[in-house]
C-alpha cells in the first residue's frame, strides 16, 4: 500500500498492488471530496472511487509486489514503477492529469521487462525512489532476492534510470534497467548525511554484515563504477546465549549460540526527513531485526 498524490490534483490516492485473486494488478483509488476518514475512521460512510486499475497478467504476470511513485524524467508528472515477483519484472504507469493515467497497450514491445529471466527474483519490501545524482529526476532502486531457488544473485542492486530527455517513460527495457552492485538481500532505504559526508547511500540488510550500502560517487547512476560498496554494521557478534549442561557422569559443557538476528528492514527517514533522533546533526539508521 502507498498513500501519495500521484496525479497532482491535491488529493492523496490509495495505491494498492493486489497480489491475490483474479485479476491482479495496480489499483489507484481515492475518497470522495466530502469524506472525512480521519473522523469517520473507516466506518463505512465514506465513498471510495476507482481512478485506475491495470491488470498485470499481460505485463509480465506474477504477484504484484509494489507500485512505487517516482518522477522518472523530471517533468513534474509522477509515474508508478510496478514491480512483480516474476523474474524481477517491471512496467510503468504515468499520470497524465487529474484522475487520469496511461500505460502502454498490452503486447507492445517494451511494455514490461523481466530483468532476471534466468531466475525468479523479487525485491523484498519493494524499492525506493530518490534523485541520487541531483539532476531533477528520480532513480528507482531495488535489490534481488533469490535464495529459495539456489541462485547466487542475493543482494544484486538494480536501478531504473531515465533522463530528462526521455519523453517516453512507459517503454522500459535494458536501456533503463541496470545492475550496479551487490549489497544485501533485504532492500532498505536511501539516505544522506552520514559521517560528515554529503554522499547518498543505498542501504540493505543481510545476515553478515548486518547492514551494507552502496555510496554513490557519480557521475552516472546506471554504471557500477559510480558506486563504492561499504560494510556499515556487522552486528553484535558478542551477543550470545549460553546453554549449560551437566550429563549423568557430572561432565559440564557450555554451548554458545548467537541470539542476534538480521535486519530485514532498514529505514533512513520518516516523511521525507532523515532520522536524527538525538538532534546532534548526525543521522541515524533504524533497523527492524528478524
pLDDT tens-digit readout, 169-182? 999 999 999 999 99
Where are any strands of DSSP class E within 5-138?
Answer: 13-18, 25-31, 48-55, 63-70, 79-85, 89-97, 100-102, 113-114, 128-130
Give the pLDDT confidence score for residue 269 in this predicted structure.
Answer: 93
pLDDT > 80? residue 148: no
Q: Using the structure block, give the residue that is written with the C-alpha cell 516474476.
A: 86
User: pLDDT: is 26 or 259 the higher one?
Assistant: 26
pLDDT > 90? residue 200: yes
Confidence of residue 46 (pLDDT cuts 50, 70, 90): confident
Confidence of residue 151 (pLDDT cuts 50, 70, 90): low
Q: Residue 266 belongs to a domain with what CATH number?
A: 2.120.10
Domain that holds residue 69: 2-289
pLDDT tens-digit readout, 245-289? 888 888 888 886 666 677 888 999 998 899 999 998 889 999 988
Mean pLDDT for the chain overall: 89
Does the reported pTM lie above 0.85?
yes
Rounded-to-integer distance, Cα 274 and Cα 190, Å: 10
194, 201 contact by CB (below 8 A): yes
Give the pLDDT confidence score for residue 104 in this predicted structure.
Answer: 97
Burial (CB < 10 A; 0-12, 13-18, 19+), residue 34, is exposed
Report the b/e string of 2-28 with b at 16+ CB within 10 A: beeebbeeeeebbbbbbeeeeebbbbb
Confidence of residue 32 (pLDDT cuts 50, 70, 90): confident
Give the pLDDT confidence score for residue 243 in this predicted structure.
Answer: 83
> How many structural domains compose the chain?
1
Amino acid at each position: 500500500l502507498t498513500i501519495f498524490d500521484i496525479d497532482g490534483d491535491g488529493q492523496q490516492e490509495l495505491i494498492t498492488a493486489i497480489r491475490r485473486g483474479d485479476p491482479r494488478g495496480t489499483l489507484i483509488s481515492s475518497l470522495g471530496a466530502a469524506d472525512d476518514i480521519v473522523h469517520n475512521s473507516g466506518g463505512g460512510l465514506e465513498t471510495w472511487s476507482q481512478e485506475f486499475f491495470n491488470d498485470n497478467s499481460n505485463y509480465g504476470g506474477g504477484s504484484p509486489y509494489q507500485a512505487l511513485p517516482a518522477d522518472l524524467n523530471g517533468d513534474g508528472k509522477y509515474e508508478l514503477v510496478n514491480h512483480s515477483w516474476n523474474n524481477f519484472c517491471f512496467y510503468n504507469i504515468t499520470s497524465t492529469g487529474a484522475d487520469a493515467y496511461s500505460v502502454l497497450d498490452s503486447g507492445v514491445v517494451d511494455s514490461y521487462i523481466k530483468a532476471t529471466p534466468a531466475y525468479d527474483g523479487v525485491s523484498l519490501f519493494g524499492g525506493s525512489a530518490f534523485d541520487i545524482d541531483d539532476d531533477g529526476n528520480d532513480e528507482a532502486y531495488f535489490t534481488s532476492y533469490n535464495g529459495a531457488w539456489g541462485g547466487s544473485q542475493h543482494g544484486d542492486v538494480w536501478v531504473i534510470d531515465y533522463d530528462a530527455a526521455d519523453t517516453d517513460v512507459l517503454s522500459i527495457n535494458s536501456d533503463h534497467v541496470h545492475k550496479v552492485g551487490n549489497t544485501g538481500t533485504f532492500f532498505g532505504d536511501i539516505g544522506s548525511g552520514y559521517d560528515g559526508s554529503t554522499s547518498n547511500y543505498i542501504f540493505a540488510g543481510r545476515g553478515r554484515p548486518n547492514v551494507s550500502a552502496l555510496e554513490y560517487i557519480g557521475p552516472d547512476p546506471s554504471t557500477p563504477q559510480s558506486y563504492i560498496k561499504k560494510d556499515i554494521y556487522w552486528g553484535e557478534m558478542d551477543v550470545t546465549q549460553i546453554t549449560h549442561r551437566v550429563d549423568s557422569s557430572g561432565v559440564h559443557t557450555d554451548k554458545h549460540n548467537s541470539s542476534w538476528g538480521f535486519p530485514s528492514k532498514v529505514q533512513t527517514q520518516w516523511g521525507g526527513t532523515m532520522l536524527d533522533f538525538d538532534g546532534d546533526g548526525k543521522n541515524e539508521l533504524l533497523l527492524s531485526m528478524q
